[in-house]
Structure 1
């Protein structure tokens, strides 16, 4: 696995995707989870191999099986996903904790029922006690608390400190599920899926698993992945199954490397941060791909200085964009527009901006398309389409209103100058030069206006008495 990563990323040796694939394959056959993820991602995305959903499914299912076995019904591991590009542009951390377990315990604490789950599972500090847990769950369920209802259903389901009763378990889970509580939804789906105390009903199982998945529960993703992979109670969908299993796989403990990489970045250990992001990029983590590209883009990786770094950044931006990250799609357009890590290609740049605009409603991409229509770069020169793109950008994002207003003002100036160019007044002065240098004239005018405002608003100093 290590050799495969080094060949794939070009760290300490020349890049060879063929050798990387060989090493990943042997590592995966040997049971290495990371190699299985790397191959699952490659076959699903068609990265250096012919795309094969079925092969991707095989590898991702192996990993998802392992991850699901280590997840309790109460949640999964916490993974912090911080995109460095968003953090830079927004001025704050956009990281989220992909973990319902955090929310679970927060709600327990808010409701005063944290003692129940600790006593139910037991810990190093607290001795497991069904009797104590039952007492707390009953107290909460009497108040129609969904946590208490779900917990009581759990105890009836497994006969923990009370006689096993599937009918009562189903009733309590249903009451909790109706209040939107993820554990109740998950347990109810599990009962219908396996026919525990109720008649098997895959449609209802799918309903409750889907509700639990909306809250980000790992086991809900896993169960839905199994149903889509086998076509249980629904039409089989390999791609949907892979997406669910990929989500489960990325909840494995190795996801904690994301947090370590971010800490290293904060401590200006750029090489260390990059290597960790590059590793997780190979495993298919989109956030790692965009962060690896970000570091290379800013020339912050001593291992790969520019211009080599830009070539590699282009590759990572491409992988992140393929997974739906719209700023990465815009970055691809920028790289082709300015010739960063590749040749200048306005048509390709426009195609990337168009994808980000139409599929992901990215305001920056809309604005860029407007400018390219205005200038006739990579597409036909069309002032009407330019205005339409600018307007869409302003409607999509509040932040785009000011630059759009300036761009529209510019379009009006250009339109007026064009009208003047076509009039008999053309012969009186050089309109072509005015059109070319309109921005210089505009800037000069604005500076003059600003200077006038400053001059007339300056404080008046009264004359000193003799």
Structure 2
């Protein structure tokens, strides 16, 4: 409350004291919030070792609570992307889920498998429900579907939600799936041979099945090969090979792979010791804990038009270092959906949150920083700082909007040297970065070409006739140019419109 100013005056010093006491008392949220401050240097001197120590403690709790499957999925929906129609991985529409349910009940195997996987992992607006997953997988397995058989093996191997673990049943389903060359079934068989469940313990056979699964890109096959090389189980201990397979598994976001990569970078096992890399891995693990479910609760509140409720939850998660929460809280302030603060404080808070999200690599947040300094939102107008942020987003993150903005600033000489050739280069680069930039770039280039022509015309003897004195053409030339371009665009759209069929 002291950090966010909800109910109490903002006092970062008091917030730091409370976070420190909470971290000493083993509060996971306090450990994450304090670790993020030391990692980012927010209100405290930056200290990677202190951040590492705190993140390791919180990450250990996450790892102790997840299964080999990696735990439930945590959806991270960015409101800015969703508002602009660029969001992916958000909640599925209720109508779409009901449609899949109808298909599944009519015997559509793919719908049965899809719903089974959604309920097995949770997320995208579908609750984690092992019993529903079991129901749909059993239906699909009757049709001989390999994926359904494999996931039935996983359900009976791990049990949960009233389903008792049954190794014999799990083995039967894994074998059916493995016979169909399914990597999930192969990894399941490998685990049973590794642990000697129902079958004799055989590390070599386990290694063979894990390799088959890993070669097909299945995360659990990669993960177990990492474990075997890391611990020297049935193979010669090889940290470089362990790092290779943990890295592959981490690309699917598996918590255990991320945790072991953090350990290896922290201790320098098979890789160069790197506090920064270790912190990033452990931070990633921490943010996949069960408390991450609050992100979807906040998103649900936003969709239900309870913006203030969503803002409070996002702001709380932002304190713990969640980039998506920082950018979403900033978006709610930026869009004016939250009216809790006066205009000046609203912009300054949004600027701070965009800054924290940008420092974690979110490209649109970096563009927002450029916008805020360009227009003077929450900070004085500063074209040079604006250009600095646009340049980072353009050169390091290949952001088309930032590149376009740099072109515009070169065109007018705002914060950058006035250079029409560089402006054209930036406009051309924006198209290569995003096809959506074609129309605005086409208009900008047309305007730029007119400006170049007018510049040449000014240097000619005819300029004195048309542009001398208080000529309206001189003072309003840009309006004339834009009007001409828009008119030309209208003519093109008119002639390219669908023609009525005269035969009708």
Answer yes or no: same fold by TM over 0.5: yes
Which of 6, 18, 23 is 2:18 aligned to?
23
**1:373 maps to 2:410:** yes
Which of 473, 494, 500 is 1:434 aligned to?
473
Contact 2:446 2:485 in 1 (8 A): no
Relative distance call for 1:446 and 1:61 in structure 2 (3 A) is: closer
Which of 90, 96, 110 is 1:95 aligned to?
90
Contact 1:8 1:20 in 2 (8 A): yes
**1:328 maps to 2:328:** no
Relative distance call for 1:92 and 1:172 in structure 2 (3 A) is: closer
Partners of 2:475 and 2:385 lie apart in 1 by 26
What's the TM-score, normalizing by structure 2?
A: 0.84
Partners of 2:86 and 2:219 lie apart in 1 by 33
Which of 382, 385, 391 is 1:348 aligned to?
385
What's the TM-score, normalizing by structure 1?
A: 0.91
The alpha carbon displacement at 1:435 in A equals: 4.4
User: Which deviates further from its counterpart, 422-431 or 78-87?
Assistant: 422-431
State the partner residue of 1:301: 338
Listed one character per residue, the Cα deviations across residues 82-135 of structure 1 (whole Å, up to 9, x for unaligned) are 1000111126555399x9956998999762313211211223443321111111
Q: Secondary structure at the match of 1:81?
A: coil
Relative distance call for 1:148 and 1:443 in structure 2 (3 A) is: closer
Contact 1:274 1:295 in 2 (8 A): yes
**1:182 maps to 2:177:** no
**1:283 maps to 2:320:** yes
Which of 157, 164, 173 is 2:201 aligned to?
164
State the partner residue of 2:9: 14
Relative distance call for 1:198 and 1:322 in structure 2 (3 A) is: same
Unaligned runs of 5+ in 2: 93-117, 124-129, 500-504
Partners of 1:115 and 1:398 lie apart in 2 by 44
Partners of 1:84 and 1:448 lie apart in 2 by 35
Partners of 2:299 and 2:429 lie apart in 1 by 35
Q: Secondary structure at the match of 1:340?
A: coil
State the partner residue of 1:3: none
Q: Secondary structure at the match of 2:2?
A: helix
User: Which deviates further from its counterpart, 337-346 or 10-19?
Assistant: 10-19
Contact 2:314 2:326 in 1 (8 A): yes
State the partner residue of 1:111: 147
Listed one character per residue, the Cα deviations across residues 14-36 of structure 1 (whole Å, up to 9, x for unaligned) are 21111111110111011000010
Which of 445, 448, 454 is 1:417 aligned to?
454
Relative distance call for 1:303 and 1:160 in structure 2 (3 A) is: same
Partners of 1:24 and 1:274 lie apart in 2 by 21
Contact 1:299 1:305 in 2 (8 A): no
Measured on the aligned residues, the alpha-carbon RMSD in Å equals 2.6
Q: Secondary structure at the match of 1:90?
A: coil
Q: Secondary structure at the match of 1:307?
A: helix
Partners of 1:260 and 1:341 lie apart in 2 by 29
Partners of 1:148 and 1:180 lie apart in 2 by 13
Partners of 1:177 and 1:237 lie apart in 2 by 27
Partners of 1:451 and 1:244 lie apart in 2 by 55
Listed one character per residue, the Cα deviations across residues 373-405 of structure 1 (whole Å, up to 9, x for unaligned) are 111111211111111111111111111111111
Unaligned runs of 5+ in 1: 1-5, 460-466
State the partner residue of 1:130: 167
Relative distance call for 1:33 and 1:426 in structure 2 (3 A) is: same
Partners of 1:157 and 1:451 lie apart in 2 by 71
Partners of 1:91 and 1:138 lie apart in 2 by 41
Listed one character per residue, the Cα deviations across residues 30-67 of structure 1 (whole Å, up to 9, x for unaligned) are 10000100111111111111111111100100011000
Contact 1:83 1:94 in 2 (8 A): no
